Amino acid sequence: TMDCDFEEKDAYTYAIDDRGMVERDAYCPDILFQASAVSKALDSFCKELLGQHIRTCVVDDLEAGRYEAVDELVRVIQRLMK
């Protein structure tokens, strides 16, 4: 299993804070900075998840002779880079 609890909780906490800031009519730049923090936390989580997927699922598939996993990985990376 993957240990991404820290990043996931950070992103969730940031998102909850964003909603509360909007509801409290906080200063717009403060909301923008908070939203940027959410984006960075989610990016970090996705990078970690992708790395773990490659180290576990993709390696397992390749060891089992399921080479189509490489094509799937390429599609995933291409989609993430859009």
In this predicted model, what pLDDT tens digit does every residue of 28-63 receive, in sequence order? 898 888 888 888 888 988 999 999 999 999 999 999
- Residue 20 exposed, middle or buried by CB count within 10 Å (0-12, 13-18, 19+): exposed
In this predicted model, what pLDDT tens digit does every residue of 58-76 receive, in sequence order? 999 999 999 999 999 999 9
Output the pLDDT for position 69.
Answer: 97
Output the pLDDT for position 56.
Answer: 96
Is the separation of the CB atoms in 11 and 40 below 8 Å?
Answer: no
Query: Higher model confidence: residue 10 or residue 42?
Result: 42
Q: Residue written as tokens 């909301």?
A: 31
